């Protein structure tokens, strides 16, 4: 059971202090429709080819900029799952923007995270929070960066941050990114920073988060690239998304990290079995390096049936949409 703290965020309906600017953004989670690992670079990073899809599970991130002589960065959260200080990736995002734009980002920066995305779950929750901070400061401090420029900054924080920036930008009506190549679904290459927007998948997913933590670094360390026997069919996956052909999409999906994570964390396989039981028409796969697994279906009724069968078990379970 996750322990939540009382929310420290200032409600936006309350009067704001003089000299304060504030914005609240939804930091959306992601699932991987595929992950393929093709090599390892000299700097230790792995070369990947993967398809990422944003979902409507999100954290609420409130960023406030306060005029004044001090220049602190403060992070607060209602969750005990993530740190509140310099170890929080949202803090690092604000620090990075301050290093690039010291004058425009002067004064105190306050970040409040209402956490809904499970931490260390393979859903990009931390990356989503960091992306929201970059987008918020770009707007509040009038840095005037494009999405592409923000993504170049974001990759310094993590491989999933550029996609989270792109996906969130596609959903923020108050910010204009006219003419930019953005989408809530993308092909990611390199270490994840080279993004090609794709047609978003229209489907429902039931997420199951086992009560275990998975180290992404350890998963990649234990991955033997030469021994990978099965890989996603990326070309067919892209074709299926383009043509909105769900059967083609689900048959092409695969995550090469799943075998590595499952061997060390058998509870992931147990979660898979819960999702597959009575779910013959749903595609079941692990997201990221785990431990979250998800059942994907184009039918809302099927997704609800899976969710209702599993909720109340010893897992965190979410029913989400990929198109919203």
- Catalytic site residues? 30, 160
| Secondary structure (DSSP) of 35-67 | EEEEEE-TTSPEEEEEEEEEEEEEEEEEEEEE-
Among 61, 265, 72, residue whose Cα is nearest residue 164? 61
Among 182, 142, 137, residue whose Cα is nearest residue 162? 182
Looking at the chain, the number of H-run helices and the number of E-run strands are 10, 11
CA dihedral 263→264→268→272, nearest 10 degrees, is 0
Task: List Cβ neighbours of 175 (8 Å cut-off, separation of 6 or more).
Answer: 135, 139, 169
Task: List Cβ neighbours of 163 (8 Å cut-off, separation of 6 or more).
Answer: 30, 52, 124, 127, 186, 188, 192, 195
Answer whether the bond into residue 202 is a cis peptide, omega within 30°: no
């Amino acid at each position: 059971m996750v322990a939540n703290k009382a929310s420290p965020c200032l409600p936006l309906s309350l009067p704001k202090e003089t000299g304060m600017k504030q914005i609240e953004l939804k930091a959306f989670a992601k699932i991987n429709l595929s992950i393929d690992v093709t090599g390892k670079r000299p700097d230790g990073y792995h070369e990947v080819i993967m398809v990422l899809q944003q979902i409507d599970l999100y954290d609420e991130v409130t960023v406030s900029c306060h005029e004044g002589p001090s220049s602190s960065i403060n992070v607060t959260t209602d969750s005990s799952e993530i740190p509140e200080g310099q170890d929080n990736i949202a803090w690092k995002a604000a620090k990075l923007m301050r290093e690039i734009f010291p004058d425009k980002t002067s004064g105190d920066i306050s970040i409040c995270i209402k956490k809904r995305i499970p931490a260390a779950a393979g859903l990009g929750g931390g990356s989503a929070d960091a992306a929201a901070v970059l987008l918020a400061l770009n707007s509040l401090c009038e840095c005037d960066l494009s999405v592409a420029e923000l993504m170049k900054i974001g990759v310094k924080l993590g491989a999933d941050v550029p996609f989270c920036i792109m996906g969130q930008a596609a959903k923020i009506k108050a910010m204009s990114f006219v003419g930019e190549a953005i989408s809530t679904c993308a092909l990611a290459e390199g270490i994840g920073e080279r993004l090609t927007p794709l047609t978003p998948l229209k489907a429902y997913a039931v997420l199951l988060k086992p009560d275990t933590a998975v180290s992404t670094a350890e998963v990649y360390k234990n991955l033997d690239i030469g021994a990978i026997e099965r890989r996603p069919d990326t070309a067919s996956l892209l074709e299926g998304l383009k043509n909105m052909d769900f059967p083609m999409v689900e048959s092409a999906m695969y995550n090469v990290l799943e075998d590595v994570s499952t061997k060390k964390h058998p509870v992931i396989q147990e979660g898979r079995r819960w999702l597959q039981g009575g779910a013959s028409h749903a595609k079941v796969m692990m997201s990221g390096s785990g431990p979250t697994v998800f059942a994907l279906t184009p039918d809302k009724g099927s997704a609800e049936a899976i969710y209702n069968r599993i909720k109340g078990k010893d897992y965190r379970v979410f029913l989400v949409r990929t198109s919203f």
